[in-house]
Amino acid sequence: MTTAIAIDNLTKTYANGLQALKGISLEVQQGDFFALLGPNGAGKSTTIGILSTLVNKSGGGVEIFGKNVDAHVYETKLDLGVVPQEINFSQFEKVRDIVMTQAGYYGMPRQLAAERCEKYLRKLGLWEKRYERSRTLSGGMKRRLMIARALVHEPRLLILDEPTAGVDIELRRSMWEFLTELNEAGTTIILTTHYLEEAEQLCRNIAIIDHGRIVENTSMRALLAALDKQTYIVELAAPIRALPDWGDAPLSAEFIDEHSFEITVDARLTMSDLFKLFLLHSVEVSALRSKSNRLEQLFLSRLDGARGGDEHVVQP
Amino acid sequence: MLSNHKYIAFETIVIKEVRRFTRIWLQTLVPPAITISLYFVIFGNLVGRRIGDMGGFNYMEFIIPGLIMMAVIQNSYSNVVSSFFSHKFQRSVEELLVSPVPNVIILSGFVVGGMVRGLLVGGIVTVMSLFFIDLEIQHPLVTLSVVLLTALVFSLAGFINALFANSFDDISIIPTFVLTPLIYLGGVFYSSSLLPEFWRSVSALNPIFYMVNTFRYGFLGVSDVPVVGAFVILLGFAVVLFSACLLLLNRGTGLRS
**CB–CB of B8 and A15 under 8 A?**
no
- A43–chain B Cβ distance below 8 A for any pair: no
> pLDDT tens, B175-227?
888 888 888 888 888 887 778 788 888 888 888 989 998 999 999 888 888 88
A76 → chain B, closest CA residue: B100
The structural domain count of chain A equals 2
> pLDDT tens, B123-142?
999 998 888 888 888 999 99
Domain ranges, residue A35: 3-225
Kindly state the average pLDDT of the residues B6-10.
Answer: 94
> pLDDT tens, B43-72?
777 787 777 777 778 888 888 999 999 999
- A15–chain B Cβ distance below 8 A for any pair: yes
Sheet holding A213-219, edge to edge: A80-83, A157-161, A188-192, A33-37, A205-210, A213-219
Mind listing the pLDDT tens digit of every residue in chain A (316 residues)?
689 999 999 999 998 999 999 999 999 999 999 999 888 888 898 999 999 889 999 999 999 999 999 889 888 999 999 999 888 898 889 999 999 999 999 999 999 999 999 999 999 989 999 999 999 998 889 999 999 999 999 999 999 998 887 777 888 888 888 999 999 999 999 998 877 778 888 899 999 898 899 988 888 877 777 667 778 889 998 888 888 888 888 888 888 888 999 888 887 788 888 898 888 888 889 988 877 666 666 676 667 666 665 444 333 3
Residue A309 resides in a domain: no
Distance, CA of B212 to CA of B183 (rounded, Å): 9
To the nearest whole angstrom, how far is the Cα of B29 from the nearest Cα of chain A?
Answer: 18
> pLDDT tens, B67-107?
999 999 999 999 999 999 999 998 989 989 999 999 999 99
Residue A142 resides in a domain: yes
To the nearest whole angstrom, how far is the Cα of B22 from the nearest Cα of chain A?
Answer: 13
Return the H-helix or E-strand segment holding A128.
none
Quick one: A104 and A219 in the same domain? yes
Give yes or no for residue B109 having a pLDDT over 90.
yes
Residue A235 resides in a domain: yes
Residue A69 resides in a domain: yes
Residue A307 resides in a domain: no
CATH code (residue A283): 3.30.70.1560
Quick one: A198 and A220 in the same domain? yes
* Chain A residues 56-75 within an 8 A CB cutoff of chain B: 56, 73-75
- B12–chain A Cβ distance below 8 A for any pair: yes
To the nearest whole angstrom, how far is the Cα of A53 from the nearest Cα of chain B?
Answer: 6
Quick one: A136 and A282 in the same domain? no
Quick one: A48 and A69 in the same domain? yes
Residue A59 resides in a domain: yes
Q: Which residue among B19, B95, B256 places its CB closest to the CB of A102?
A: B95
CATH code (residue A34): 3.40.50.300
B11 → chain A, closest CA residue: A104
Q: Which domain-ending residue is among A180, A210, A225? A: A225
The residues, ordered by sequence, that sit 6+ positions from A291 with a Cβ below 8 Å of its Cβ are A231, A232, A233, A262
The residues, ordered by sequence, that sit 6+ positions from B33 with a Cβ below 8 Å of its Cβ are B121, B124, B125, B128
Q: Which domain-ending residue is among A210, A225, A240? A: A225
Q: Which residue among B6, B23, B91 places its CB closest to the CB of A107?
A: B6
- A19–chain B Cβ distance below 8 A for any pair: no
Q: Which domain-ending residue is among A202, A225, A248? A: A225
- Indicate the SS3 state at residue B226: coil
> pLDDT tens, B219-251?
988 888 888 999 999 999 999 999 999 999 999
- A90–chain B Cβ distance below 8 A for any pair: yes
- B95–chain A Cβ distance below 8 A for any pair: yes
User: For residue B102, which residues of chain A lie inside 8 Å, CB to CB?
Assistant: 74
To the nearest whole angstrom, how far is the Cα of A139 from the nearest Cα of chain B?
Answer: 16
Residue A308 resides in a domain: no
Quick one: A219 and A235 in the same domain? no
Query: Virtual CA dihedral for A245, A247, A249, A252, nearest 10 degrees?
Result: 40
Quick one: A213 and A236 in the same domain? no
Instruction: Quote the pLDDT of residue A242.
Output: 85
Quick one: A67 and A186 in the same domain? yes
What percentage of chain B reaches a pLDDT higher than 70?
100
B17 → chain A, closest CA residue: A101
Distance, CA of B32 to CA of B37 (rounded, Å): 8
Between the alpha carbon of residue A207 and those of residues A142, A210, A247, B135, B178, the distances in Å are: 28, 10, 39, 71, 52
- A114–chain B Cβ distance below 8 A for any pair: no
A102 → chain B, closest CA residue: B95
B8 → chain A, closest CA residue: A107
**CB–CB of B98 and A89 under 8 A?**
no
Quick one: A60 and A204 in the same domain? yes
Quick one: A96 and A163 in the same domain? yes
**CB–CB of A106 and B87 under 8 A?**
no
3-state secondary structure A199-251: HHHHCCEEEEEECCEEEEEEEHHHHHHCCCEEEEEEEECCCCCCCCCCCCCCE
User: For residue A78, which residues of chain B lie inside 8 Å, CB to CB?
Assistant: 100
A73 → chain B, closest CA residue: B100
ipTM over 0.90 threshold: no
Query: What is the DSSP-derived secondary structure letter of residue A14?
Result: -
**CB–CB of B90 and A77 under 8 A?**
no
Between the alpha carbon of residue B144 and those of residues B2, B140, B149, B200, the distances in Å are: 32, 6, 9, 26
Quick one: A135 and A240 in the same domain? no
To the nearest whole angstrom, how far is the Cα of A68 from the nearest Cα of chain B?
Answer: 14
- A91–chain B Cβ distance below 8 A for any pair: yes
Instruction: Quote the pLDDT of residue B131.
Output: 86
Decide which of B41 and A98 is more confident.
Answer: A98
Q: Which residue among A84, A92, A105 places its CB closest to the CB of B99?
A: A105
Distance, CA of B146 to CA of B12 (rounded, Å): 27
Distance, CA of A184 to CA of A168 (rounded, Å): 24
**CB–CB of B92 and A108 under 8 A?**
no
- A89–chain B Cβ distance below 8 A for any pair: yes
User: For residue B101, which residues of chain A lie inside 8 Å, CB to CB?
Assistant: 105
